[in-house]
Structure formats: structure tokens, C-alpha cells
Amino acid sequence: MQGVVDMGQVSSDREMTAVWFGRLGFLFGIWLFLSVSAPEVVFRTFFHALILPLTAYLALQRRDLVDLKEPFIAVFVLFCTYMSVSTWFVGNGPVKDDWQASRWGVEAAFGMLAFRLWMSSIVRYRKVWGYVFLCAALLGSLAGLATLPLPEFGGLRTSGLGMLEHPIQGASIAIVLMAIGLFILLHRNEPIQPAEVFFAVLVIVATCVFVIMTKSRAPILTMCAYLTFFVFVLGARFRPHLTAFCVVFAGALIVVSVQSLVGFELLVEQLFKRGDAHRFDIWEAYASYPPESLWFGNGAGMDFKLMDASRQFLEPLGLDISHPHNIWLGVWAETGFIGVAFQLALLGLPALWAIKAPISPLVKMHLLALLALFVMLTFTDEYTLLISMHPIWLIGWLPLVFVWSWACSAHAGVKKHNRAGEAYVQ
């Protein structure tokens, strides 16, 4: 009788866990669509009013769902704590900026907890979330293209809505959403239907055209590199003639769309016209004028415009630059080598878990490709992972925690099947 009661309790706990994941996942699905289509005040308020309180409740009341000792989460929370505290000892900026940095650290910690719980929902309901990510990429891309001022677009750069309103960040987010959606579609352990193939091609075309129309060079190069790898993945999964048809069909639609919107000759001219956009000057400035403390940085609360790199190098050149435009230089300037070590750990842990995961080599390579997106998209833009709600949450957090969660799911699946005396293959 006791065994029956125990089994009933386990079943009840599993049902409640599924309910909580479902609730949080539903809220995140709405937030994701709002973040690519609504004003900042809408998706920011939605997250803080609904998702963060639910996350705090789960962290306090349902500790079986939140493992703060999980390596990735532990490192992230420690990084947030270090940033929030160290700024008061090494920073020379206004006190209000130190308070802001500390507040951002707390918000980032709870935000990442929410993302980790969200990822648990994604690996449970893969088919649904594959569609959600692809639809979000499609919605964001089409919304951006719909706002094109076609008669005079030739010399302009398009941008999207919500978090996609900046050309570089918008293009980067669209790429990440598309890439994760495609990953789930291919590796969810279910047959892919012809209608899904057509939908995936449509998403790829819309995303590519949107990214190209932003005229953001790093995202364009990153997208080309990822899609080249993705063609390799398709070739390994499907018959060659099907892969070739998808590539030719999608490529033709992209070429026709870009040519009709701006023309390749004008596009190439504009891409080269901006030169290096002062990136090399910016990087040289931060390399020539390192933070006051190499180990602890200048403090996350210190405005970049108050740092020596800006005052003594960039301003004399007439450059009004707000940040280093490289996430590694940014974290070094703010939090020193200790911060760089934390950030390396946040990249290395998902990579290591993916490599060690009991999954096929093709899936491992695809997971590492998602991490490569983070590295490439933040190499010429962004400056920190730890900040109040910001596009970096989708450009940086999303691929990092997604790869970590997918790899953890594979490891957990092996343990579960080993206890049952079964084989596990993914």
C-alpha cells in the first residue's frame, strides 16, 4: 500500500511540474512575440509583472524545479554578485550608476533563472517550441520589412520592432531565433513533414532578406557562415536532391527579393562605404588604455565615456562612442580579468556539456554552431551579458542557456534510461 501511495505522489509531482512549466512557457511564448513586435514598455512590463514574479515564486516554493547548484546557473549568479558588489570598490563614477549596476545584477540573476526554467519547458515540448521560434523569427523579419520606406530606401538601413529596432541587434536577434527554431525542427526526434520544410524555407528567406536589408555586415557574414553549415547538416540528414532543391529555391527567392528592394550593386557599395565603422580605433583605444585595475576593471557602474579609453583616445579623434563594441573588451573594462574568466566559463560550460553529451556528432556540431553565433554576433557589438532587459538577452543568453539545457537534457535522459535498464539514443 505504501508503494502505491508513493507512486501516486510521484505522479502528482510530475503533473504539477508539467503544469508549472506549461504556465511559464505560455508566458514566455507571449513575451517572445511581444519582444519582436511591440514597444519596449510593453514587453518589458510583461516580463517584470508576470514572468519574474512567477520565477521568484518557483525559486522559493518549488525548489525541485530550480537547481541553483547547477554549474551554469551557479557561475552566472556568482558573476552577477561579483559585478554588483565590485563596482562599489573599484568604480569612480556617480553613486547612482553603481546602484544601477547592482540592480542590473539582481535583475540579470532572476532573469537567467527564468530563462533556465523556460529552456526546461522547451526541451519538454520541442515540437511546439520549434514552431514558436520560427514564427517569432518570421514575425520579426516581416514586421521589419513591412516598415521599409520603399521609394527612398536605397540609402537607408531597415530595422524591426521591439528588440529588433536597432539594425545590428535586430539582425542578430532574427538570426538567433531562426537558428534555434531550425535546430529544434531538425533534432526533435520526429519525422519532418513537407509542410514543415516549406515553412522553414519561408522563415529562412524572410530572415535573410531582413538581415541583408539592415545592411549590418557582421550579422550578414554570421548568417552566411551559419547557413553554409546548415546546408551541411541538411545534406547529412536528407537526400541530396531534396537538400539541393531547398537551397536553390531559397537562394533564388532571396536574390530576387534583394535585387527588387535595393539592387546588389548599390548594396555592395553601401556595405563597403562605411569602412570599418571605427571598430579598430575603438578596440585600439581599450587596448591602449586598460582599466585601472586589470583584475577588477573600472566597475560596471562607471560610464564608458568617463573611462580613459574614451577621454584620452576616442574623444580627440572626434568619436562619441558609448561602449567598446566587443563583449570581451567590454567585460574586461567593466569587471577586469575576473569578469572575463566568468564570461569564458559561461561559454565553456555549455560547449563542454555539449561535447560530452550522449548525442550524435551531428547534433553536437549543431549545438556548437549555436554557441559560435553568440561569439560572432558579439565580436563587433555589445559589451556585457549582465544588464537590465536588453537585446543581449536574446543574442547572448538565449544560445548559451539553450545549448546548456539541451545538453543537460541529454545527460538526464541517459541517467533515467540507465536506471530503467534501457538504451538511450538521441
Tens-digit pLDDT profile for residues 59-106? 777 766 677 789 999 999 999 999 999 999 987 778 999 999 999 999
How far is residue 419 from each of residues 4, 351, 423, 424, measured CA to CA in Å? 20, 26, 10, 11
- Angle CA(164)–CA(218)–CA(325) in degrees, nearest 5? 80
Give the span between the Cα atoms of 156 and 237, in whole angstroms. 39
Note every long-range contact of 358-365, with CB atoms under 8 Å and residues 24 or more positions apart, other chains counting: 358/410, 358/411, 358/413, 358/414, 358/424, 358/426, 359/407, 359/410, 359/426, 360/426, 362/233, 362/236, 362/237, 363/187, 363/426, 365/229, 365/233
273 in the same domain as 307: no
Residues 168 and 245 in one domain: yes
Instruction: Tell me what pLDDT residue 74 has.
Output: 96
Whether 19 maps to a domain, the answer reads no
CA distances from 60 to 67, 105, 286 (A): 11, 19, 42
**C-alpha Rg value of the chain to the nearest Å:** 22
Confidence (pLDDT) at 5: 45
On whether the CB atoms of residues 405 and 116 are closer than 8 A, the answer is yes
Range of the structural domain that residue 194 is part of: 127-278
| Amino acid, single-letter form, for residue 103 | R
Examine the domain organization and report whether 90 and 153 are in the same domain: no
Q: Which of 232, 255, 278 is the last residue of a domain?
A: 278
Can you read off the three cell numbers belonging to residue 24? 511559464
DSSP reduced 3-state for 175? helix
Number of domains in the chain: 2
- Decide if 32 is inside a domain: no
Higher pLDDT among residues 415 and 34, named by residue: 34
Specify the 3-state DSSP secondary structure of 422.
coil
In the chain, count of helices (H) and strands (E)?
Answer: 17, 0
Is the domain of 213 the same as that of 320?
no
Please check whether residues 266 and 311 belong to one and the same domain: no
Give yes or no for residue 148 having a pLDDT over 70: yes
Which among 278, 301, 335 is the end of a domain? 278
Q: Quick check: 300 and 101 in contact, CB under 8 A?
A: yes
Looking at the domain assignment, is residue 323 inside a domain?
A: yes
Q: 273 and 135 in one domain? A: yes
- Reported confidence tier of residue 423, pLDDT bands at 50, 70, 90: very low
Please check whether residues 174 and 91 belong to one and the same domain: no
Looking at the predicted structure, is the pLDDT value of residue 203 above 80?
A: yes
- The answer on 153 and 96 residing in a single domain is no
- Say if 415 falls within a structural domain: yes
What percentage of the chain has pLDDT greater than the value 90? 68
Q: How confident is the model at residue 150 (pLDDT cuts 50, 70, 90)?
A: low
Mean pLDDT of the chain: 89
For residue 335, which of 91, 159, 170 has the smallest C-alpha distance?
91
Pair 333, 201 in one domain: no
Question: Is the same domain home to 86 and 131?
Answer: no
Clarify whether residues 272 and 307 are in a common domain: no
The HSE-up count of residue 51 (CA atoms within 13 Å, CB side) is 26
Do 154 and 267 share a domain, yes or no? yes
422 touches 358 (CB < 8 A): no
Cα(16)–Cα(58) distance, integer angstroms: 12
384, with CB counted inside 10 A (0-12, 13-18, 19+), is buried
Is residue 33 in a domain? no
Average pLDDT score over residue span 34-61: 93
Residue 42 covered by a domain = no
What are the pLDDT digits (tens) for 210-244? Answer: 999 999 999 999 999 999 999 998 888 778 888 89
Q: Is 295 helix (H, G, I), strand (E, B) or coil?
A: coil
Q: Is residue 89 part of a domain?
A: yes
Domain membership flag for residue 58: no
Last residue of a domain, one of 236, 255, 278: 278
Q: What is the pLDDT of residue 422?
A: 40
What is the sign of the dihedral through the CA atoms of 174, 175, 180 and 182? positive
Give the model's pLDDT for residue 418: 46
Q: Select from 383, 379, 377 the least CA-distant residue to 395.
A: 377
CB half-sphere exposure, 103, CA atoms < 13 A: 8
Share of the chain above pLDDT 70, in %: 90
